[in-house]
Amino acid sequence: MATVPNPPLPAADVFGTRVNALSRDAAVEVVLQRAQQAAGGAVAFCNVHMVVSAQRQPELAGALRSFELVLPDGAPVAATLRRAGYAGQQRVDGPGFMWAACGAAARAGVAVYFYGSAEQTLTRLRERLQAAFPGLIVAGMHSPPFRPLTQAEFAQDLQHIEASGARLVFVGLGCPRQEIWMMRARQHLAAVLLGVGAAFDFHAGVKARAPAWMQRASLEWLYRLAQEPRRLAGRYVVTNSLFLAARARAALVPRRR
C-alpha cells in the first residue's frame, strides 16, 4: 500500500468524536485523490446515533479516531460544527456522497466495489449506477452473511477486494458493524473504505428516501422513523435525547469566533 502524507484537514470535537469540516465536493476530492494514489484509508459519515454510540462503545470510538475522514452526516452534527466556528457547514450524508463519488470515479476511471446488503439489492444497485454513470467500473460486489464473520471469511473477503483492483469500497453493513469492519480491514487494503449505511437500499430503490424538502429541513430522521418505527424508535428517542442534552450543556459555553 502506498504511503502519502496526510494534509491537516479542518475538524472540531463533537461531544467526543472528531468530525471534519468539509463540503461534500471537497471531501470527494480528498477521497478520490487517495484512491488514485492507492493510499487506502477509511471514511465515516457521522450522525447523532454514531456520536452517542461512540460515547458508549470504546471500539467504535477507536475506529472513528483511526479514520482519515469523519464527515457530518446528521444535521445536528453539522450545526455543532457551525457553532464551533465553521460557518456554512452543511450535511455530508452517506447516500449523497456515494452518488457524487461514483460519478467522480466514473470520470476518473477509478474502479469501485460494493460490500454489504443482500444479493438482490446489489444487483439492482449495479444496474442503476451503471445506467446513471455509463463509465463506472464496478470491480466487484459481495453480500456477506448477516452474522459475525469467521477469521477465514474475513481474510477471504479482503483477498477478493484487493484482487479486484477496486480503489473505492462502499460498505453497507450499518453502524457500528461497518465501522468496526473498516477499522480491521483498512490496514490490509489499498482501497479507500466508505461506510455509507443505507445508501445501497436507497440507490437500488429497495427503500424510499425522504423527499428533498424533508432532507433540507433536517426531517429525514422522521421519514425513516415512519418507515421503520420498531427498529428505529429506540435509536431516535434515546440517542437524540442524549445528544440534545449534551448540546444544551454546550450552549452554556461561549461560541468560538
Mean pLDDT split into 10-residue runs, the chain, 257 residues: 62 96 98 98 96 95 98 94 96 97 98 97 97 97 96 98 98 96 97 96 85 68 66 61 58 51
Residue 184 lies in a domain: yes
**What is the C-alpha separation between 247 and 249, in angstroms, rounded?**
5
pLDDT on residue 125: 98
pLDDT on residue 48: 92
Strand 192-195 relative to strand 69-72, pairing? unpaired
Residue 95 lies in a domain: yes
Strand 41-46 relative to strand 69-72, pairing? parallel
pLDDT on residue 257: 43
pLDDT on residue 3: 47
Question: For cell 459555553, what's the residue?
Answer: 253
Model-level pTM? 0.86
Residue 138 lies in a domain: yes
Of 95, 50, 133, which is closest to residue 210 (Cα–Cα)?
Answer: 95
pLDDT on residue 1: 46
**What is the C-alpha separation between 169 and 240, in angstroms, rounded?**
30
Domain count, the chain: 1
**What is the C-alpha separation between 193 and 35, in angstroms, rounded?**
10
Question: For cell 439489492, what's the residue?
Answer: 121
Angle between helix 58-66 and helix 48-56 axes, rounded to 10 deg: 120
Question: Would you state the cell numbers that stand for residue 54, as one nine-digit string?
Answer: 461512540
Q: Residue 166 belongs to what domain range? A: 11-204
Contact between residue 115 and residue 161 where contact means Cβ atoms under 8 Å apart: yes
Per-position DSSP letters for 88-101, written without gaps between them = T-----HHHHHHHH
Residue 215 lies in a domain: no
**What is the C-alpha separation between 121 and 125, in angstroms, rounded?**
6
Residue 179 lies in a domain: yes
pLDDT on residue 205: 94
Specify the CATH number for the domain of residue 41: 3.40.50
Contact between residue 198 and residue 172 where contact means Cβ atoms under 8 Å apart: yes
Residue 52 lies in a domain: yes
Of 60, 111, 83, 66, which is closest to residue 14 (Cα–Cα)?
Answer: 83
Structure confidence by residue, pLDDT tens digits, 171-211: 999 999 999 999 999 999 999 999 999 999 999 998 866 67
Residue 58 lies in a domain: yes
Structure confidence by residue, pLDDT tens digits, 44-55: 999 999 999 999
User: Helix or strand or coil: residue 193?
Assistant: strand
Of 62, 18, 19, 67, which is closest to residue 43 (Cα–Cα)?
Answer: 67
Question: Would you state the cell numbers that stand for residue 238, as one nine-digit string?
Answer: 434515546
Residue 236 lies in a domain: no
